[in-house]
Structure 1
Amino acid sequence: MNTSSLDASPHVLQWLPAQGAPAQLFVLLHGVGSSAANMAPLAQWLQAQFPQAAILAPDGFDAFDYDPSGQARQWFSLKEVTEDNRPARVAAVLPRLLAWLTEAQQHFGIDPQATALVGFSQGAILSMALVHEHDGAAGRVLAFAGRYAKLPDTAPQLTTFHLFHGSADATIPVQHARAAIERLAALGGDATIDIVQDAGHEINGALLNSALFRLRSHIPQRTWRAALGAAQAQNATDPDLH
Protein backbone atom coordinates (compact mmCIF):
# COMPACT_ATOMS: atom_id res chain seq x y z
CA MET A 1 0.00 0.00 0.00
CA ASN A 2 1.25 3.48 -0.81
CA THR A 3 0.12 6.91 -1.91
CA SER A 4 -0.81 7.17 -5.56
CA SER A 5 0.53 9.84 -7.90
CA LEU A 6 -2.99 10.39 -9.24
CA ASP A 7 -3.64 14.02 -8.47
CA ALA A 8 -7.38 14.53 -8.99
CA SER A 9 -8.12 13.59 -5.38
CA PRO A 10 -6.55 14.97 -2.21
CA HIS A 11 -5.34 11.52 -1.18
CA VAL A 12 -5.43 8.08 -2.81
CA LEU A 13 -4.30 4.75 -1.40
CA GLN A 14 -3.35 1.95 -3.77
CA TRP A 15 -2.65 -1.76 -3.58
CA LEU A 16 -0.87 -3.19 -6.63
CA PRO A 17 0.12 -6.69 -7.81
CA ALA A 18 3.37 -7.99 -6.42
CA GLN A 19 4.53 -8.74 -9.95
CA GLY A 20 3.36 -7.84 -13.43
CA ALA A 21 0.89 -5.35 -14.75
CA PRO A 22 -2.62 -5.12 -13.27
CA ALA A 23 -5.29 -7.11 -15.09
CA GLN A 24 -8.27 -5.35 -13.52
CA LEU A 25 -9.09 -2.32 -11.43
CA PHE A 26 -11.15 -2.00 -8.26
CA VAL A 27 -12.02 1.51 -7.08
CA LEU A 28 -13.28 1.75 -3.48
CA LEU A 29 -15.46 4.72 -2.56
CA HIS A 30 -15.98 5.23 1.17
CA GLY A 31 -19.02 6.47 3.07
CA VAL A 32 -19.68 9.97 4.35
CA GLY A 33 -17.56 11.10 7.30
CA SER A 34 -15.00 8.39 6.56
CA SER A 35 -11.81 8.29 4.47
CA ALA A 36 -9.77 6.14 2.12
CA ALA A 37 -8.00 4.56 5.09
CA ASN A 38 -11.28 3.08 6.30
CA MET A 39 -11.47 1.04 3.10
CA ALA A 40 -8.12 -0.67 3.79
CA PRO A 41 -9.64 -3.90 5.22
CA LEU A 42 -11.85 -4.27 2.15
CA ALA A 43 -8.90 -3.53 -0.15
CA GLN A 44 -6.77 -6.16 1.57
CA TRP A 45 -9.57 -8.70 1.29
CA LEU A 46 -9.95 -7.98 -2.43
CA GLN A 47 -6.20 -8.19 -2.95
CA ALA A 48 -6.17 -11.67 -1.41
CA GLN A 49 -8.95 -12.79 -3.77
CA PHE A 50 -7.69 -10.98 -6.89
CA PRO A 51 -3.90 -10.64 -6.54
CA GLN A 52 -3.45 -9.33 -10.09
CA ALA A 53 -5.80 -6.39 -9.56
CA ALA A 54 -4.95 -2.77 -8.92
CA ILE A 55 -7.05 -1.49 -6.01
CA LEU A 56 -7.47 2.24 -5.41
CA ALA A 57 -9.19 4.02 -2.53
CA PRO A 58 -9.50 7.79 -2.93
CA ASP A 59 -10.54 10.22 -0.24
CA GLY A 60 -13.82 12.04 -0.79
CA PHE A 61 -13.17 15.26 -2.63
CA ASP A 62 -14.45 17.51 0.18
CA ALA A 63 -13.89 17.75 3.93
CA PHE A 64 -16.76 16.37 5.99
CA ASP A 65 -19.06 19.18 7.10
CA TYR A 66 -19.13 18.02 10.71
CA ASP A 67 -15.41 17.40 11.31
CA PRO A 68 -13.44 20.60 11.97
CA SER A 69 -10.15 18.67 11.74
CA GLY A 70 -10.65 18.01 8.04
CA GLN A 71 -9.59 14.37 8.39
CA ALA A 72 -13.03 12.96 7.60
CA ARG A 73 -14.23 13.31 4.02
CA GLN A 74 -17.44 13.39 2.02
CA TRP A 75 -18.50 13.14 -1.61
CA PHE A 76 -21.40 15.54 -1.19
CA SER A 77 -22.81 17.56 1.69
CA LEU A 78 -25.52 16.26 4.00
CA LYS A 79 -26.33 19.70 5.39
CA GLU A 80 -30.05 20.22 4.92
CA VAL A 81 -30.12 17.35 2.43
CA THR A 82 -33.57 16.27 1.22
CA GLU A 83 -35.00 13.81 -1.27
CA ASP A 84 -35.48 16.75 -3.62
CA ASN A 85 -31.98 18.26 -3.50
CA ARG A 86 -29.93 15.05 -3.14
CA PRO A 87 -29.92 14.24 -6.89
CA ALA A 88 -28.43 17.64 -7.77
CA ARG A 89 -25.73 17.28 -5.14
CA VAL A 90 -24.79 13.87 -6.50
CA ALA A 91 -24.81 15.09 -10.09
CA ALA A 92 -22.49 17.98 -9.21
CA VAL A 93 -19.62 15.69 -8.19
CA LEU A 94 -19.93 13.21 -11.07
CA PRO A 95 -17.76 15.12 -13.60
CA ARG A 96 -14.85 15.23 -11.18
CA LEU A 97 -15.27 11.58 -10.25
CA LEU A 98 -15.42 10.55 -13.92
CA ALA A 99 -12.28 12.54 -14.69
CA TRP A 100 -10.46 10.91 -11.79
CA LEU A 101 -11.65 7.41 -12.79
CA THR A 102 -10.64 7.92 -16.41
CA GLU A 103 -7.20 9.09 -15.33
CA ALA A 104 -6.80 6.01 -13.12
CA GLN A 105 -7.83 3.67 -15.94
CA GLN A 106 -5.39 5.31 -18.33
CA HIS A 107 -2.63 5.34 -15.73
CA PHE A 108 -2.83 1.57 -15.25
CA GLY A 109 -3.90 0.68 -18.78
CA ILE A 110 -7.16 -0.87 -17.60
CA ASP A 111 -10.23 -0.94 -19.82
CA PRO A 112 -13.50 0.32 -18.28
CA GLN A 113 -15.03 -3.14 -18.68
CA ALA A 114 -12.27 -4.52 -16.43
CA THR A 115 -13.05 -1.87 -13.81
CA ALA A 116 -15.30 -2.35 -10.79
CA LEU A 117 -16.59 0.47 -8.63
CA VAL A 118 -17.05 -0.72 -5.04
CA GLY A 119 -18.97 1.79 -2.97
CA PHE A 120 -20.20 1.86 0.60
CA SER A 121 -23.15 4.08 1.60
CA GLN A 122 -22.49 7.52 0.07
CA GLY A 123 -19.78 5.91 -2.06
CA ALA A 124 -22.37 3.44 -3.36
CA ILE A 125 -24.73 6.30 -4.21
CA LEU A 126 -21.95 7.92 -6.26
CA SER A 127 -21.00 4.65 -7.97
CA MET A 128 -24.55 3.93 -9.07
CA ALA A 129 -25.11 7.46 -10.28
CA LEU A 130 -21.87 7.61 -12.25
CA VAL A 131 -22.62 4.64 -14.49
CA HIS A 132 -26.16 5.86 -15.08
CA GLU A 133 -24.78 9.16 -16.30
CA HIS A 134 -21.89 7.47 -18.15
CA ASP A 135 -22.91 3.95 -19.14
CA GLY A 136 -19.91 1.64 -19.24
CA ALA A 137 -17.57 3.89 -17.28
CA ALA A 138 -17.07 0.72 -15.23
CA GLY A 139 -18.03 -2.83 -16.06
CA ARG A 140 -19.46 -3.54 -12.61
CA VAL A 141 -20.75 -1.67 -9.60
CA LEU A 142 -20.73 -3.33 -6.19
CA ALA A 143 -23.00 -1.19 -4.04
CA PHE A 144 -22.93 -1.92 -0.31
CA ALA A 145 -25.62 -0.27 1.82
CA GLY A 146 -26.40 2.20 -0.92
CA ARG A 147 -29.37 3.65 -2.76
CA TYR A 148 -30.31 5.71 -5.77
CA ALA A 149 -30.42 9.44 -5.22
CA LYS A 150 -33.41 9.18 -7.56
CA LEU A 151 -34.82 6.03 -9.15
CA PRO A 152 -33.74 5.96 -12.81
CA ASP A 153 -35.81 6.06 -15.97
CA THR A 154 -33.30 4.02 -17.97
CA ALA A 155 -30.89 1.19 -17.18
CA PRO A 156 -27.24 1.08 -18.28
CA GLN A 157 -26.52 -1.65 -20.81
CA LEU A 158 -22.74 -1.80 -20.35
CA THR A 159 -22.58 -2.02 -16.55
CA THR A 160 -23.65 -4.80 -14.18
CA PHE A 161 -24.99 -3.88 -10.75
CA HIS A 162 -24.49 -6.02 -7.64
CA LEU A 163 -26.44 -4.69 -4.66
CA PHE A 164 -25.59 -5.80 -1.11
CA HIS A 165 -27.60 -4.74 1.92
CA GLY A 166 -28.30 -5.64 5.51
CA SER A 167 -31.93 -6.21 6.44
CA ALA A 168 -31.44 -4.25 9.67
CA ASP A 169 -29.75 -1.21 8.09
CA ALA A 170 -31.18 1.79 9.93
CA THR A 171 -29.14 4.40 8.02
CA ILE A 172 -30.20 3.48 4.48
CA PRO A 173 -33.12 1.06 4.88
CA VAL A 174 -33.14 -2.08 2.77
CA GLN A 175 -36.30 -0.89 1.03
CA HIS A 176 -34.06 1.35 -1.10
CA ALA A 177 -32.15 -1.67 -2.39
CA ARG A 178 -35.37 -3.53 -3.13
CA ALA A 179 -36.74 -0.52 -4.99
CA ALA A 180 -33.51 -0.29 -7.01
CA ILE A 181 -33.51 -3.93 -8.11
CA GLU A 182 -37.19 -3.76 -9.03
CA ARG A 183 -36.64 -0.67 -11.15
CA LEU A 184 -33.56 -2.11 -12.86
CA ALA A 185 -35.41 -5.33 -13.62
CA ALA A 186 -38.33 -3.41 -15.09
CA LEU A 187 -35.95 -1.41 -17.29
CA GLY A 188 -34.03 -4.45 -18.53
CA GLY A 189 -30.90 -3.75 -16.52
CA ASP A 190 -28.33 -6.33 -15.49
CA ALA A 191 -28.44 -6.51 -11.69
CA THR A 192 -28.34 -8.83 -8.70
CA ILE A 193 -29.21 -8.32 -5.05
CA ASP A 194 -28.09 -10.01 -1.84
CA ILE A 195 -29.74 -9.15 1.48
CA VAL A 196 -28.18 -10.46 4.69
CA GLN A 197 -30.57 -10.92 7.58
CA ASP A 198 -29.86 -8.90 10.74
CA ALA A 199 -26.88 -7.07 9.18
CA GLY A 200 -26.82 -3.31 9.72
CA HIS A 201 -25.14 -0.45 7.90
CA GLU A 202 -21.89 -2.31 7.32
CA ILE A 203 -19.84 -4.60 5.14
CA ASN A 204 -19.65 -7.86 7.05
CA GLY A 205 -18.32 -11.31 6.24
CA ALA A 206 -21.60 -12.60 4.84
CA LEU A 207 -21.89 -9.65 2.47
CA LEU A 208 -18.29 -10.12 1.36
CA ASN A 209 -18.97 -13.79 0.63
CA SER A 210 -21.94 -12.74 -1.48
CA ALA A 211 -19.78 -10.23 -3.34
CA LEU A 212 -17.13 -12.84 -4.08
CA PHE A 213 -19.76 -15.23 -5.40
CA ARG A 214 -21.17 -12.56 -7.71
CA LEU A 215 -17.75 -11.49 -8.98
CA ARG A 216 -16.73 -15.06 -9.76
CA SER A 217 -19.99 -16.53 -11.03
CA HIS A 218 -22.15 -13.84 -12.62
CA ILE A 219 -21.76 -13.55 -16.38
CA PRO A 220 -22.95 -10.12 -17.51
CA GLN A 221 -25.98 -10.01 -19.80
CA ARG A 222 -23.97 -8.08 -22.40
CA THR A 223 -21.58 -11.06 -22.65
CA TRP A 224 -24.51 -13.40 -23.25
CA ARG A 225 -25.96 -11.03 -25.85
CA ALA A 226 -22.64 -10.79 -27.68
CA ALA A 227 -22.24 -14.58 -27.71
CA LEU A 228 -25.81 -15.06 -28.92
CA GLY A 229 -25.32 -12.47 -31.66
CA ALA A 230 -22.13 -14.18 -32.81
CA ALA A 231 -23.85 -17.57 -32.88
CA GLN A 232 -26.78 -16.19 -34.87
CA ALA A 233 -24.42 -14.57 -37.36
CA GLN A 234 -22.51 -17.84 -37.74
CA ASN A 235 -25.76 -19.74 -38.35
CA ALA A 236 -26.77 -17.24 -41.00
CA THR A 237 -23.51 -17.50 -42.97
CA ASP A 238 -22.43 -21.15 -42.51
CA PRO A 239 -24.13 -23.38 -45.13
CA ASP A 240 -23.28 -26.53 -43.16
CA LEU A 241 -25.58 -25.36 -40.35
CA HIS A 242 -28.67 -25.22 -42.57
Structure 2
Amino acid sequence: MAETLIVILHGVGGRGAHLQPLADMIGAELPGARFALPDAPNRYDWDDSGRQWFSVKDITPRNRPARLRAARAAFDQVLATTIAGHGFGDRPDRVALVGFSQGAIMAMDAVMSGRFRPQALAALSGRLVKSATGLPGIPVMLSHGLDDPVIPARDAIAAAAHWGKQGCPVDLHLWTGLGHWFDARVATTTAAFLRRALIL
Protein backbone atom coordinates (compact mmCIF):
# COMPACT_ATOMS: atom_id res chain seq x y z
CA MET A 1 0.00 0.00 0.00
CA ALA A 2 1.28 3.49 -0.87
CA GLU A 3 2.62 5.48 2.06
CA THR A 4 1.16 8.77 0.93
CA LEU A 5 -1.11 10.36 -1.66
CA ILE A 6 -0.09 13.53 -3.47
CA VAL A 7 -2.99 15.21 -5.28
CA ILE A 8 -1.84 17.59 -8.02
CA LEU A 9 -4.41 20.16 -9.16
CA HIS A 10 -4.08 21.77 -12.59
CA GLY A 11 -4.58 25.33 -13.74
CA VAL A 12 -7.33 26.97 -15.78
CA GLY A 13 -7.67 25.56 -19.28
CA GLY A 14 -5.58 22.51 -18.50
CA ARG A 15 -6.09 18.90 -17.59
CA GLY A 16 -4.65 16.80 -14.82
CA ALA A 17 -2.55 14.90 -17.34
CA HIS A 18 -0.76 18.12 -18.31
CA LEU A 19 0.98 18.04 -14.92
CA GLN A 20 2.18 14.46 -15.25
CA PRO A 21 5.74 15.72 -15.92
CA LEU A 22 5.67 17.48 -12.56
CA ALA A 23 4.41 14.31 -10.86
CA ASP A 24 7.16 12.31 -12.54
CA MET A 25 9.88 14.70 -11.36
CA ILE A 26 8.56 14.81 -7.80
CA GLY A 27 7.91 11.07 -7.75
CA ALA A 28 11.48 10.27 -8.73
CA GLU A 29 12.52 11.65 -5.34
CA LEU A 30 9.63 10.20 -3.33
CA PRO A 31 9.58 6.41 -3.86
CA GLY A 32 6.34 4.83 -2.72
CA ALA A 33 4.22 7.94 -3.13
CA ARG A 34 1.02 7.69 -5.12
CA PHE A 35 -0.10 10.55 -7.34
CA ALA A 36 -3.57 11.64 -8.40
CA LEU A 37 -4.15 14.25 -11.11
CA PRO A 38 -7.90 14.89 -11.36
CA ASP A 39 -9.57 17.08 -13.97
CA ALA A 40 -11.56 20.14 -12.95
CA PRO A 41 -15.32 19.65 -13.36
CA ASN A 42 -16.10 22.56 -15.68
CA ARG A 43 -15.45 23.08 -19.38
CA TYR A 44 -12.89 25.78 -20.13
CA ASP A 45 -14.53 28.91 -21.50
CA TRP A 46 -12.42 29.11 -24.66
CA ASP A 47 -11.57 25.50 -25.48
CA ASP A 48 -13.70 22.39 -25.13
CA SER A 49 -10.61 20.25 -24.53
CA GLY A 50 -9.63 22.17 -21.38
CA ARG A 51 -11.14 22.32 -17.92
CA GLN A 52 -11.46 24.98 -15.23
CA TRP A 53 -12.33 25.16 -11.55
CA PHE A 54 -14.04 28.52 -12.12
CA SER A 55 -14.43 30.90 -15.03
CA VAL A 56 -11.90 33.67 -15.53
CA LYS A 57 -13.97 35.34 -18.26
CA ASP A 58 -14.31 39.01 -17.32
CA ILE A 59 -12.83 38.26 -13.91
CA THR A 60 -11.73 41.10 -11.65
CA PRO A 61 -10.29 41.34 -8.14
CA ARG A 62 -13.79 42.35 -7.03
CA ASN A 63 -15.68 39.33 -8.40
CA ARG A 64 -12.93 36.71 -7.94
CA PRO A 65 -13.86 35.81 -4.31
CA ALA A 66 -17.49 35.18 -5.26
CA ARG A 67 -16.47 32.93 -8.15
CA LEU A 68 -14.15 30.98 -5.90
CA ARG A 69 -16.87 30.49 -3.29
CA ALA A 70 -19.30 29.32 -5.99
CA ALA A 71 -16.73 26.76 -7.15
CA ARG A 72 -16.18 25.23 -3.72
CA ALA A 73 -18.86 22.55 -3.77
CA ALA A 74 -17.76 21.03 -7.08
CA PHE A 75 -14.08 21.29 -6.14
CA ASP A 76 -14.73 19.61 -2.80
CA GLN A 77 -16.55 16.75 -4.50
CA VAL A 78 -13.68 16.17 -6.94
CA LEU A 79 -11.08 16.30 -4.20
CA ALA A 80 -12.98 14.13 -1.72
CA THR A 81 -13.79 11.56 -4.41
CA THR A 82 -10.17 11.48 -5.54
CA ILE A 83 -8.81 11.00 -2.03
CA ALA A 84 -11.37 8.33 -1.13
CA GLY A 85 -10.91 6.57 -4.46
CA HIS A 86 -7.22 6.08 -3.72
CA GLY A 87 -7.94 4.68 -0.27
CA PHE A 88 -6.91 7.71 1.79
CA GLY A 89 -10.33 8.93 2.92
CA ASP A 90 -9.54 8.05 6.54
CA ARG A 91 -5.86 9.03 6.35
CA PRO A 92 -5.67 12.82 5.86
CA ASP A 93 -2.30 12.78 7.62
CA ARG A 94 -0.90 10.93 4.59
CA VAL A 95 -2.33 13.32 1.97
CA ALA A 96 -0.62 16.35 0.46
CA LEU A 97 -2.04 18.87 -1.99
CA VAL A 98 0.03 20.41 -4.78
CA GLY A 99 -1.75 23.08 -6.80
CA PHE A 100 -0.63 24.96 -9.88
CA SER A 101 -2.11 28.36 -10.83
CA GLN A 102 -5.92 28.09 -10.46
CA GLY A 103 -5.41 24.69 -8.84
CA ALA A 104 -3.22 26.42 -6.26
CA ILE A 105 -5.91 29.04 -5.67
CA MET A 106 -8.50 26.33 -5.02
CA ALA A 107 -6.17 24.26 -2.83
CA MET A 108 -5.19 27.25 -0.70
CA ASP A 109 -8.83 28.19 -0.25
CA ALA A 110 -9.77 24.63 0.73
CA VAL A 111 -7.12 24.58 3.45
CA MET A 112 -7.50 28.20 4.53
CA SER A 113 -11.26 27.74 5.00
CA GLY A 114 -10.74 24.53 6.99
CA ARG A 115 -12.71 22.34 4.56
CA PHE A 116 -9.68 20.08 4.04
CA ARG A 117 -6.80 19.49 6.39
CA PRO A 118 -4.02 17.70 4.50
CA GLN A 119 -0.62 17.05 5.97
CA ALA A 120 1.00 19.58 3.63
CA LEU A 121 0.15 22.11 0.93
CA ALA A 122 2.36 23.27 -1.93
CA ALA A 123 1.08 26.15 -4.07
CA LEU A 124 2.90 26.81 -7.35
CA SER A 125 2.31 30.03 -9.29
CA GLY A 126 -0.91 30.78 -7.43
CA ARG A 127 -2.51 33.44 -5.30
CA LEU A 128 -4.40 33.41 -2.03
CA VAL A 129 -7.94 34.78 -2.21
CA LYS A 130 -8.40 35.72 1.43
CA SER A 131 -12.03 34.77 1.97
CA ALA A 132 -11.64 32.83 5.22
CA THR A 133 -9.39 32.44 8.23
CA GLY A 134 -6.98 29.56 8.34
CA LEU A 135 -6.12 26.60 10.50
CA PRO A 136 -2.75 26.72 12.22
CA GLY A 137 -0.03 24.15 11.89
CA ILE A 138 -0.29 22.91 8.30
CA PRO A 139 3.06 23.32 6.50
CA VAL A 140 2.74 25.47 3.40
CA MET A 141 5.18 25.90 0.51
CA LEU A 142 4.81 28.71 -2.00
CA SER A 143 6.76 28.68 -5.26
CA HIS A 144 6.63 31.45 -7.85
CA GLY A 145 8.57 32.60 -10.89
CA LEU A 146 9.81 36.17 -10.70
CA ASP A 147 9.05 36.52 -14.42
CA ASP A 148 5.45 35.27 -14.12
CA PRO A 149 3.31 37.37 -16.51
CA VAL A 150 0.00 35.86 -15.34
CA ILE A 151 0.09 36.10 -11.53
CA PRO A 152 2.76 38.44 -10.15
CA ALA A 153 5.29 37.13 -7.65
CA ARG A 154 4.15 39.77 -5.16
CA ASP A 155 1.00 37.67 -4.70
CA ALA A 156 3.13 34.80 -3.40
CA ILE A 157 4.92 37.15 -1.01
CA ALA A 158 1.58 38.43 0.30
CA ALA A 159 0.24 34.88 0.64
CA ALA A 160 3.32 33.81 2.60
CA ALA A 161 2.81 36.67 5.04
CA HIS A 162 -0.86 35.77 5.49
CA TRP A 163 -0.19 32.06 6.05
CA GLY A 164 2.45 32.97 8.61
CA LYS A 165 -0.05 35.11 10.51
CA GLN A 166 -2.32 32.06 10.68
CA GLY A 167 0.38 30.11 12.50
CA CYS A 168 1.43 27.95 9.55
CA PRO A 169 5.11 27.22 8.88
CA VAL A 170 5.80 28.69 5.44
CA ASP A 171 8.49 28.06 2.83
CA LEU A 172 8.61 30.76 0.14
CA HIS A 173 10.65 30.22 -3.03
CA LEU A 174 10.98 32.86 -5.74
CA TRP A 175 12.75 31.82 -8.93
CA THR A 176 14.70 33.92 -11.40
CA GLY A 177 14.18 33.17 -15.07
CA LEU A 178 10.86 31.40 -14.48
CA GLY A 179 7.47 32.45 -15.80
CA HIS A 180 4.05 30.92 -15.13
CA TRP A 181 5.13 27.29 -14.99
CA PHE A 182 7.52 24.97 -13.16
CA ASP A 183 10.97 23.57 -13.78
CA ALA A 184 13.40 21.09 -12.22
CA ARG A 185 14.20 23.55 -9.42
CA VAL A 186 10.55 23.77 -8.46
CA ALA A 187 10.07 19.99 -8.61
CA THR A 188 13.15 19.27 -6.49
CA THR A 189 12.20 21.87 -3.89
CA THR A 190 8.60 20.61 -3.78
CA ALA A 191 9.77 17.02 -3.31
CA ALA A 192 12.07 18.05 -0.47
CA PHE A 193 9.24 19.96 1.21
CA LEU A 194 6.85 17.02 0.92
CA ARG A 195 9.48 14.60 2.23
CA ARG A 196 9.92 16.72 5.35
CA ALA A 197 6.21 17.34 5.88
CA LEU A 198 5.19 13.71 5.34
CA ILE A 199 8.27 12.28 7.09
CA LEU A 200 9.22 10.09 4.14
- Tell me the TM-score normalised to structure 2 length: 0.90
Tell me how far 1:96 sits from its aligned partner. 2.3
Determine whether 1:47 maps to 2:27.
yes
What secondary structure is seen at the aligned counterpart in 2 of 1:22?
coil
2:151 aligned partner: 172
Identity %: 32
Using the alignment, how far apart are the partners of 2:102 and 2:123 within structure 1? Answer: 10
| Equivalences for residues 18-167 of structure 1 within 5 A | 21-67=1-47, 70-110=48-88, 111-134=91-114, 136-149=116-129, 151=130, 154-167=133-146
RMSD (CA atoms): 1.9
Using the alignment, how far apart are the partners of 1:208 and 1:164 within structure 2? Answer: 10
Q: Deviations over 1:95-117 (max 9, x none)?
A: 22223322333333321121111
- Ranges in structure 1 where 5+ consecutive residues have no aligned partner: 1-20, 221-242
Report how many residues are paired.
Answer: 197
CA, structure 1 residues 37+218, in 2 after alignment: closer, same or farther (shift >3 Å)? closer
Pick the aligned partner of 1:187 from 166, 190, 195. 166
What secondary structure is seen at the aligned counterpart in 2 of 1:129?
helix
Tell me how far 1:175 sits from its aligned partner. 0.3
Using the alignment, how far apart are the partners of 1:187 and 1:137 within structure 2? Answer: 14
Using the alignment, how far apart are the partners of 1:23 and 1:218 within structure 2? Answer: 13
Using the alignment, how far apart are the partners of 1:44 and 1:144 within structure 2? Answer: 16
Tell me how far 1:63 sits from its aligned partner. 0.9
Q: Note if contact 1:168-1:197 (Cα within 8 Å) is conserved in structure 2.
A: yes
Q: Note if contact 2:44-2:50 (Cα within 8 Å) is conserved in structure 1.
A: yes
CA, structure 1 residues 121+63, in 2 after alignment: closer, same or farther (shift >3 Å)? same
Tell me how far 1:163 sits from its aligned partner. 0.3
Q: Note if contact 1:142-1:211 (Cα within 8 Å) is conserved in structure 2.
A: yes
- Ranges in structure 2 where 5+ consecutive residues have no aligned partner: none
What secondary structure is seen at the aligned counterpart in 2 of 1:83?
coil
Determine whether 1:217 maps to 2:184.
no
Using the alignment, how far apart are the partners of 2:18 and 2:181 within structure 1? Answer: 12
1:232 aligned partner: none
Using the alignment, how far apart are the partners of 1:159 and 1:101 within structure 2? Answer: 18
Using the alignment, how far apart are the partners of 2:69 and 2:51 within structure 1? Answer: 18
Tell me how far 1:46 sits from its aligned partner. 2.7
Runs (4 or more) in structure 1 with deviation over 3 Å come to 217-220
Q: Note if contact 1:135-1:158 (Cα within 8 Å) is conserved in structure 2.
A: no
Quick check: 186-195 or 171-180, which moved more?
A: 186-195
Using the alignment, how far apart are the partners of 2:197 and 2:98 within structure 1? Answer: 16
Q: Note if contact 1:136-1:158 (Cα within 8 Å) is conserved in structure 2.
A: no
What amino acid does structure 2 have at the position aligned with 1:122?
Q
